[in-house]
């Protein structure tokens, strides 16, 4: 066995033993059911661990991650996670979390050829072009940081335009969507103040409204 993998397995055993020493019922409670209030949609970056950043134990945060925290409407993986979190787990808050210093954002901004991930980042390049007048006067690092924020806000809008979220709101479910950016330099989260929690906040162009049965007034 690889020494690196062996080390991970040893660390796992040590962690398990320590957790059981600190709280003998921890794993028994954890194995019964997950009832998280939060869904975290974040970047795959290894420096952005969801539970640690918001100081919550296992079982408290449902997590989906991908390169540059992008929500494509044809991404069945992400949509399945969101549907399960909203309709089955009944989460009350979904946080879309970007982070300053994101490699995916910087790749989209620089325009370098990155292989297959270029297809994934195409919408982010479009977003950069859309905001070129705001971004181009800034130094490159500030451009990247601002694009991180713009990306998160765009993904909040994308999420709110899904039928999954809008149906939840239409049936009166308590659900709020939030946009955050995490700083690698100090470990703090910035709320981008783009939260939404009502169907009537969505632009009419993207509104989903139930079709009344034939004969209804």
Q: What positions carry a catalytic annotation?
A: 43, 45, 47, 99, 102
d(CA 173, CA 128): 34
d(CA 64, CA 82): 9
- 196: DSSP letter: B
End-to-end alpha carbon distance in the chain: 69
Contact 75, 82 (CB under 8 A): no
d(CA 69, CA 182): 12
The residue among 167, 145, 164 whose CA lies nearest residue 100 is 145
How many angstroms separate the Cα of 171 from the Cα of each of 92, 198, 202? 14, 11, 16
Contact 59, 34 (CB under 8 A): yes
d(CA 96, CA 70): 9
Element (H, E) at 156: helix 140-160
């Amino acid at each position: 066995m690889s020494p690196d993998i062996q080390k991970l397995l040893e660390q796992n055993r040590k962690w398990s033993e320590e957790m059981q020493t600190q709280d003998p019922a921890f794993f028994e409670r954890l194995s019964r059911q997950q009832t998280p209030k939060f869904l975290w949609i974040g970047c795959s970056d290894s420096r952005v661990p969801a539970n640690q950043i918001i100081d919550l134990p296992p079982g408290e945060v449902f997590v989906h991650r991908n390169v540059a925290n992008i929500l494509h409407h044809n991404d069945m993986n992400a949509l399945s996670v969101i549907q399960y979190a909203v309709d089955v787990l009944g989460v009350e808050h979904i946080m879309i979390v970007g982070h300053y210093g994101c490699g995916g954002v910087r790749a989209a901004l620089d325009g370098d050829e990155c292989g297959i991930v270029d297809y994934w980042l195409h919408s982010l390049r479009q977003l950069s072009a859309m905001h070129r007048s705001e971004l181009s006067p800034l130094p490159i690092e500030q451009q990247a940081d601002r694009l991180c924020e713009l990306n998160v806000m765009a993904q909040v809008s994308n999420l709110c335009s899904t039928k999954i979220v809008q149906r939840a709101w239409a049936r009166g479910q308590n659900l709020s969507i939030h946009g955050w950016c995490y700083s690698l330099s100090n470990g703090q989260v910035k709320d981008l103040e783009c939260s939404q929690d009502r169907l009537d906040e969505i632009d009419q162009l993207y509104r989903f409204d139930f079709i009344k049965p034939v004969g209804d007034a």
